[in-house]
């Protein structure tokens, strides 16, 4: 457990790099009912992420929890390859900016669904988060320790959304220019950011998997 938590934190920080989700959130923070809708957006994102986490850990436990280290090696290799394939998908995406603008008056249900949608379409976060779920199941912990590790992974995956919300709630007026500038910067560099993160994690998982298999 002592060695797993630092790994889970690092994976969570890599998974938290989510330009599209951040741009959605910043757009929501610039509209009416920003406080309410930003928290509901976060709830939708978190609910989807948590559901994936619970199901993922259970599936990995059933599929490989009692398996050999080679089985886990093949899973790491497969996840690494998925990361590298996702880079090709990211490169081939149209150059036009993602539509992250939201309605001026946003209903609570719409904010929740946007949060869930931002999580589902977030390829880099999904794959990296799943690699964290596999790391938890491969550690073969007790159920309570699984819950603790999953909570830590999920919390750090949410870091990139929690920080803008905390900034806005603390300094609502002063944060407007900062968050607007961040949104513009992310819209220009989101593709490069995703590619770099996927490349680093993909190469790491592939090498880790090959090392175990060989």
Position 67 confidence tier, pLDDT thresholds 50, 70, 90: low
Q: What is the pLDDT of residues 105-124, one digit of tens each?
A: 778 889 999 999 999 988 88
- The tokens describing 130, both together, are 């799943």
Least confident of 96-105, 132-141, 181-190, 200-209: 96-105
Quick check: 154 and 34 in contact, CB under 8 A?
no
Task: Give mean pLDDT, residues 178-187.
Answer: 83
Q: What is the mean pLDDT of the chain?
A: 86
- This prediction has a pTM of 0.86
Sketch the domain layout of the chain as residue ranges: 4-213
| 66-71-73-75 Cα dihedral, nearest 10 degrees | -100
Bigger pLDDT: 28 vs 189: 28
Position 81 confidence tier, pLDDT thresholds 50, 70, 90: very high
Q: What is the pLDDT of residues 132-149, one digit of tens each?
A: 999 898 888 888 888 999
- Say which residues have a Cβ less than 8 Å from residue 38's Cβ, sequence separation at least 6: 25, 28, 29, 111, 165, 168
- pLDDT on residue 11: 92
Least confident of 65-74, 90-99, 101-110: 90-99
């Amino acid at each position: 457990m002592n060695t797993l938590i630092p790994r889970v934190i690092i994976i969570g920080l890599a998974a938290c790099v989510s330009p599209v989700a951040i741009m959605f959130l910043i757009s929501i923070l610039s509209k009416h009912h920003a406080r309410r809708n930003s928290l509901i957006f976060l709830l939708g994102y978190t609910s989807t992420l948590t559901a994936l986490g619970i199901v993922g850990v259970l599936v990995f436990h059933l599929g490989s929890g009692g398996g050999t280290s080679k089985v886990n090696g093949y899973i790491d290799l497969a996840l690494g390859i998925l990361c590298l394939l996702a880079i090709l998908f990211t490169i081939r995406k149209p150059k036009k900016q993602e539509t992250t603008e939201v309605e001026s008056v946003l209903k609570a249900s719409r904010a929740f669904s946007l949060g869930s949608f931002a999580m589902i379409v977030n390829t880099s976060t999904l794959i990296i988060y799943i690699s964290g779920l596999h790391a938890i199941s491969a550690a073969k912990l007790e159920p309570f320790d699984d819950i603790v590790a999953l909570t830590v992974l999920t919390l750090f995956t949410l870091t990139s959304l929690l920080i803008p919300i905390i900034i806005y709630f603390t300094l609502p007026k002063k944060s407007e220019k900062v968050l607007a500038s961040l949104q513009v910067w992310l819209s220009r560099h989101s593709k490069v950011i995703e590619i770099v993160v996927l490349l680093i994690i993909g190469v790491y998982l592939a090498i880790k998997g090959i090392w175990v298999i060989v």
